[in-house]
Each structure stands twice: as structure tokens, then as C-alpha cells.
A = this chain, B = another copy of it.
Amino acid sequence: MASGQLSRAEALACSDCLHACHVMLYSDTQRQLFGKIPIRHIILMQMRFDGLLGFPGGLVNPSEETLEAGLTRELSEELGVPLPISVEDHVDSRHAPPSSPSSCRSPSSRLITHFYVKKMEEEQIREVERAAASTATDHGHEVLGMVRVPLYAMKRGGGLGSFLSHSFIGNARSQLIDSLLRLNLVTHEELHEALTHSLKRHSHTAGDLKAALALP
């Protein structure tokens, strides 16, 4: 078990912990970008109210409901469709990293994140996107928009490489990366190339931000 991971039972035994449950919804697709770049898979993430990227889900109180019932409830608010999650969809449970970049809290945070993965049909993914932007009660509040994760690599590193250079909440980037490898959605070589580009793109942004701060 990787560093920071807990079994589901160990996690639930922590009575003074906070529990957050999130799910990666994904499908296969035969579509191609610009008629030539295979898109391969559709993975849904979201822009959260706090301006960070993350997976759909939220806080659950295990003394009131099961983790999966709580996650299902959160999803119906954020995505606007019933989407039952079961214990078979559970992937892992981990301590969350410190929530703030400037925080000095212990790495063993009181927040435990439970991660789930659910494979769907492409048409179901499209239905989730439509409902999330129309009937979902959290739209424009807790959720600022759903986005798909590009898995391909374009010239100059566009695609997965650029996407991974964004800012993510808690464990979300590592949950995404781990899932891409575990489910064989990208190869180790593709991921390594993407991350190498991410670091380049990322250092480019530092210059932009410093220049913006220096403006009158």
C-alpha cells in the first residue's frame, strides 16, 4: 500500500476524521480530434468553487450515511443525474495533503479522501455533462463547470501535458495520474513525456504571474 494510504476499514475507524469521497467517471470513445488524433477516453473533472480542478464529490459524514450513499447524494447535486456509486467502485483511501500551500500542518491530515472510479457509456457521460450545466443545483455555486481531460499529446506538449500543469485540489492530480496508469489509459512513457512538458509549461506560468504582480 502506497504512502498515506489506508484500507477503507482503517479509514472508517478514525472517529474524529473528516471524510471526503470523489469519483472519476470515464468512458471509452472512438472519436478523433481534428479527424486524426484518437481521443480514446473521456474523463470528467470539474472546476470547483475554490478555483481548483478536482473530481466530483464532497464531504460525507459516515455516522449518518455510508460513504457511497453520501457520494451518490453529492453527485446528484453536482451533476444533476442519479448516479449510484457502490462499494465495488472504491479504489483507495488516503490522508489528504495539507489543504493550503502555506500550511504547516502535519502531512497526516484529519481529512481522509476516498476515491472511486466508475466506467460508463459515452452517451451517459454526455448526459452527465448536459445535466451538470442545466439542472444540477450546484451549477454556478459549488461547481463552476465540468471539463474533460485530454489524454493525447499534441505538438509542443499540448494535451495531457498542459492539463497536468494546472492547479488541483488535495490528492486530485495524483488520483488522476494513478488511475491513468492502473486502468492502462496511458502508458508510463506517455505519462512521463506529459509530466516533463507539464514542468516546462508550469515554469512558463511563473514568469507570467511575476510580471502581472509587478504591474502598477
Interface residues of A (CB under 8 A from B): 31, 33-34, 39, 42, 47, 49-53, 99-103, 126, 129-130, 132-134, 139-142, 144-150, 154, 156-168, 173-174, 177, 192, 195-196, 198-206, 208-210, 212-213
A147 with B145: CB separation less than 8 A: yes
Q: CA–CA, A35 to B154, complex, Å?
A: 42
B51 with A158: CB separation less than 8 A: yes
B209 with A195: CB separation less than 8 A: yes
B201 with A210: CB separation less than 8 A: no
A167 with B212: CB separation less than 8 A: no
**Contact status of A206 and B202, CB under 8 A, knowing A150-B49, A162-B50:** yes
Q: Which of A102, A139, A167 is most buried by chain B, counting CB atoms within 10 A of its CB?
A: A167
**Contact status of A205 and B167, CB under 8 A, knowing A99-B156, A100-B156, A133-B130:** yes
How many copies of this chain sit in the oligomeric assembly?
2
**Contact status of A162 and B51, CB under 8 A, knowing A42-B140, A141-B33, A144-B147:** yes
B140 with A202: CB separation less than 8 A: no
Which residues of B are found within 8 Å of A51, using beta-carbon distances? 150, 158-164
A195 with B213: CB separation less than 8 A: yes
B166 with A166: CB separation less than 8 A: yes
A133 with B146: CB separation less than 8 A: yes
**Residue from the list B49, B146, B201, B212 in contact with A177, Cβ < 8 A:** B212
B100 with A157: CB separation less than 8 A: yes
Nearest Cβ on chain B to A32's Cβ, whole angstroms: 9
B166 with A101: CB separation less than 8 A: no
Which residues of B are found within 8 Å of A47, using beta-carbon distances? 145, 147-148, 163
Which residues of B are found within 8 Å of A39, using beta-carbon distances? 140
A213 with B200: CB separation less than 8 A: no
A212 with B166: CB separation less than 8 A: no
**Residue from the list B140, B148, B161 in contact with A145, Cβ < 8 A:** B148
Which residues of B are found within 8 Å of A165, using beta-carbon distances? 167, 205, 209
Residue of B nearest to A215 (CB): B177
The 4 closest A-B pairs by CB, nearest first: A50-B158, A51-B162, A101-B204, A145-B147
